[in-house]
Amino acid sequence: MLRQRIITALVLVALLLPALFADVAWPFVLLTLLLIAAAGWEWSRLNAGAGAAALALGAALAALCAATLAGPWAQQAPRLLWVLTALVWVAGGALALRAGPASWPRLSRALRLVLGLMLLWAGWLALVQARAIGINFILSVLCLVWMADIAAYFGGRALGRRKLAPSISPGKSWEGVWSGQLGVLVLAACWLAVENGWGAGRVDSASLFRALLDGLGLPLGVLALLALAGMSVVGDLVESLVKRAVGAKDSSGLLPGHGGVLDRIDALLPVFPLAMAFATH
């Protein structure tokens, strides 16, 4: 299993890095379109069953994303979109997690499908527009999510006592959440130190951390970072809730050793729109 995970991770990195650092946008857009189509298919399977309908919905999601690039939001979506998406994640996530896995199947299938696919679309658009801002910006958001996850894992293992959501993800603890948030604050401080020192004049854009500091100031910027780290946990828990509700271990088997695409991007989906809401004006 470990060997399989490592091989899959290396293949993903080999695909992602050249697309991310390409001088033109289309390789990154094409790669993310393929991933979001797969995520849409997985979401449809989890909520409406496998078959041609799930494939069609995944393709329809990719077509919607591609069509967005031909419209006025191709370069910059209105900030209101990011604010509304963040509100759906905050309010909807809180309600879903409070109600628990048993309540999820009680929602109408159409509502579950539409809600999930629209959040996937918004998350994809935020990701693409974060790349358009600059490599430094999108990397800072990605590293924020990864740091929150890694620090939460090790902090939870070492210090975890109080369960966060035992009916959804028994391994997560409040101590893990706080460790993840602390890790994000340390990451931000180190990133800003490099950005202001060695990286001054060398990076292609301001990082998310610089954008928060300049736009919100230090106290509110710290609160924004804590919120972003917290929302990465919400994204992970919501996907776990849906899988537990339908008795699935992984969203699919597309990524050997890792599960499905949703299993790898669940924490990113709420964070990117919220980051865009904080960083754009």
User: pLDDT tens, 43-53?
Assistant: 999 998 778 99
pLDDT given for residue 2 in this prediction: 62
Residue 56 pLDDT > 80, yes or no? yes
Question: Are 179 and 147 spatial neighbours (Cβ–Cβ below 8 Å)?
Answer: no
How buried is 168 (Cβ within 10 angstroms: 0-12 exposed, 13-18 middle, 19+ buried)? buried
Q: Count CB-CB contacts under 10 A for residue 11.
A: 12
Neighbours of 83 (CB within 10 A): 15
pLDDT score at 1: 60
- Residue given tokens 């809180």 in the structure block: 94
- The pTM for the full model equals 0.95
Distance, in Å, from the CA atom of 9 to the CA atom of 15, rounded to the nearest integer, reads: 10
Ramachandran area for residue 6 (φ above 0: left; ψ -120 to 50: alpha; else beta): alpha
Assigned token pair, 3: 């060997």
166 Cβ contact partners less than 8 Å away, ≥ 6 residues apart: none
pLDDT digits (tens, 9 = 90+) for 129-174: 999 999 999 999 999 999 999 999 999 999 989 999 988 998 899 9
Name the average pLDDT for the chain: 93
Lowest mean pLDDT among 143-147, 199-203, 219-223: 199-203
- DSSP one-letter string for 176-232: HHHHHHHHHHHHHHHHHHHHHTTTTTTSSS--HHHHHHHHHHHHHHHHHHHHHHHHH
Q: For residues 6 and 247, which has the higher predicted lDDT (pLDDT)?
A: 247
Total domains in the chain come to: 1
pLDDT in tens, 15-36: 999 999 999 999 999 999 999 9
How distant, in Å, are the alpha carbons of 47, 241, 274 from that of 244?
Answer: 12, 5, 26
The CA radius of gyration of the chain, in Å to the nearest whole number, is: 18
Q: What are 60-115's pLDDT values in tens digits?
A: 999 999 999 888 887 789 999 999 999 999 999 999 999 999 999 999 999 999 99
Q: What is the pLDDT of residue 197?
A: 87
Q: Please state, for a pLDDT cut of 70, what percent of the chain lies above it.
A: 99
Residue pLDDT, tens place only, 250-267: 999 998 888 899 999 999
Range(s) of the domain holding residue 195: 2-279
